[in-house]
Amino acid sequence: MARVVVLGAGVAGHTAALHLRRKLGRDHDVIVVSPNANWNWIPSNIWVGVGLMKPAQVVFPLAPVYARAGIEVAISLAPVHGRSRTASTTPIAGAITIGGTDLRHMQHEERAAHMALVPQDPSLFHLSLSDNIRYGRPDASDGEVREAAIALVGAGSGDGGLDSGRAVQGHALTVVVEQR
């Protein structure tokens, strides 16, 4: 059984947690750590500002949503950008461990081998598609990279190939590939 910890419940963290739950099944734990007990749909805040929506219409509690999905949510009071945080629920105590070792006591390389970054605004490095895929797993064989590309975005068939150059943030990709 695996325990996957998602740090942050913004758009990227929320999406990652729900996909992880769906892909991993109920035999594995998915835990979201958030500095807030509520989720705020930021794009709708403008309507609150002009009086056409109430704050309660753009904010909802995370716990019931994650409970329905079988995802554990933990509220952390860690400071963000140097400011102290408060939360309306009881914060968790303890430590995140991998194989019984506290993350704070691991070397960076060991910690990094167990983690993945899911940016809120994904982008591609100005390298080939193959190099971008390999960034997540440097030791992947050419065959594994090709398999991953085809499974994820249908690449490798008439799009310039895996080793063609790509622009930053996918601007050189076809619309279909970029949307996936």
Answer yes or no: are the C-beta atoms of 75 and 92 closer than 8 Å.
yes
pTM for this one?
Answer: 0.52
Helices (H), 58-174: 62-69, 108-112, 129-135, 142-153
| Nearest Cα residue to 15 out of 23, 147, 96 | 23
Tens digits of pLDDT across the chain (180 residues): 788 888 888 888 888 898 899 889 889 999 998 888 888 887 788 888 888 888 888 898 999 999 999 999 888 765 555 554 444 344 456 677 777 888 788 888 888 887 776 665 666 677 777 887 777 777 888 888 888 777 766 544 444 556 655 444 444 444 334 444
Residue 80 β-bridge partners: 83
State how far the Cα of 124 lies from the Cα of 127, in Å rounded to an integer. 8
| Nearest Cα residue to 162 out of 122, 123, 128, 125 | 128
